[in-house]
Amino acid sequence: MEAVLEQIEEWFRNMLIEGIMEHLTNTFDSMNSEVGEIANVVGQTPASYLPSVYNLIRNLSDNLIMPVAGIILTFIACYELIQLVIAHNNLANFETFIFFKWIFKTFVAVTLISNTFTITLAVFDVAKWIIDRSGGIIMASTAIDASALAGMQATLESYDTGVLFSIFLQSFIVQFLVKIAAIFIFLVVNGRMIEIYLTISLAPIPFATFGSREQSQIGQNYFRSLWALGLQGFLIMVCVGIYAVMIQSVAFSADIMGSLWKVLGFTILLGFTLLKTGSIAKSIVHAT
Is residue 87 in a domain?
no
Is residue 76 in a domain?
no
Distance CA 212, CA 15 (A): 73
Total length of the chain: 288
Question: Average pLDDT of the chain?
Answer: 80
Per-residue 3-state assignment (H helix, E strand, C coil) for 80-127: HHHHHHHCCCCCCCCCCHHHHHHHHHHHHHHHHHHCHHHHHHHHHHHH
Distance CA 187, CA 180 (A): 11
Is residue 90 in a domain?
no
Residue 33: domain span: 2-65+116-285
pLDDT at residue 110 tops 70: yes
Is residue 88 in a domain?
no
Distance CA 287, CA 279 (A): 9
Q: Are 109 and 208 in contact (CB under 8 A)?
A: yes
pLDDT on residue 251? 61
Is residue 99 in a domain?
no
pLDDT of 246-284, one tens digit each? 777 766 666 777 777 887 888 888 888 988 998 999 999
Is residue 254 in a domain?
yes
C-alpha distance from residue 86 to each of 53, 97, 153, 204, 234 (Å): 47, 14, 84, 29, 48
pLDDT on residue 144? 56
State the CB neighbour count (10 A cutoff) for residue 96: 6
Is residue 102 in a domain?
no
pLDDT of 173-230, one tens digit each? 888 888 888 888 888 888 999 999 999 999 999 998 887 777 788 888 999 999 999 9
Looking at the structure of the chain, the number of domains it has is 1
Rounded to an integer, the average pLDDT of 93-120 is 81
pLDDT of 111-128, one tens digit each? 888 888 889 989 999 988
> Which among 47, 24, 27, 23 is positioned nearest to 35, based on CA atoms?
27
C-alpha distance from residue 189 to each of 42, 51, 199, 268 (Å): 7, 18, 16, 14
pLDDT on residue 183? 84
Distance CA 202, CA 191 (A): 18
The separation between CA 1 and the C-alpha centre of its own chain, rounded to angstroms, equals 61
pLDDT at residue 141 tops 70: no
Higher pLDDT, 127 or 24: 127
Q: Are 106 and 210 in contact (CB under 8 A)?
A: no
State the CB neighbour count (10 A cutoff) for residue 36: 14
The separation between CA 251 and the C-alpha centre of its own chain, rounded to angstroms, equals 29
Distance CA 286, CA 219 (A): 13
State the CB neighbour count (10 A cutoff) for residue 54: 19
> Which among 42, 79, 34, 72 is positioned nearest to 191, based on CA atoms?
42
Is residue 74 in a domain?
no
Q: Are 255 and 152 in contact (CB under 8 A)?
A: no
C-alpha distance from residue 18 to each of 23, 157, 258 (Å): 9, 10, 19
pLDDT on residue 148? 63
pLDDT at residue 244 tops 60: yes
pTM above 0.85, yes or no: no
